[in-house]
Amino acid sequence: MQRADGEQNEPELKKSRKLPALNLPPMSSKPWFVVATKADLPETQANFAALQSYLQGVEQDLLEHPSGMQHAWKGRIDVVPVSAIRGEGIERIPGLVLDLLNE
Ligand SMILES: Nc1nc2c(ncn2[C@@H]2O[C@H](COP(=O)(O)OP(=O)(O)OP(=O)(O)O)[C@@H](O)[C@H]2O)c(=O)[nH]1
Ligand SMILES: [Mg+2]
């Protein structure tokens, strides 16, 4: 902030306590999987096939990880087709989460 007398005045925010550095692993290092909704709609089939081949490309390191990070998590990327509206296909999800937690 510029004062009328030309002195620099620290903005109020800068005076507040600095946050400590984050030493947590980056998001990109975390395992993940994809839940693909609308599997009950026939018109989503082509998109689903495209999604599967994209994920295979990422898994096989042929395509960039979606985070753009070099040391991103490398593992099996599952994709679960579901009908969110009918609550179908969701049974696999808790098991997938447990597998990834126990990795
Ligand atoms: N038939 C069907 N409709 C769904 C499904 N999931 C969401 N919808 C409908 O799709 C519309 C968009 O809802 P959401 O998916 O929550 O919103 P969104 O993800 O921001 O939008 P989309 O890009 O359309 O998926 C709503 O009318 C939902 O009821 C599904 O699995 N099957
Ligand atoms: Mg949606």
For 35-49, the pLDDT digits (tens) are 999 999 999 999 999
User: For the whole prediction, is pTM greater than 0.85?
Assistant: no
Which residues line the pocket of ligand 1, CB cutoff 6 A? 37-38, 40-41, 83-85
Structure tokens at 17: 């306590």
Q: Which is more confidently placed, 16 or 44?
A: 44
Single-letter amino acid code for the residue at 66: P
Atom of ligand 1 nearest to the CA of 39: 31
List the one residue out of 90, 98, 99, 32 whose CA is nearest residue 59: 32
Give me ligand 2 centre to Cα 74, in Å: 26
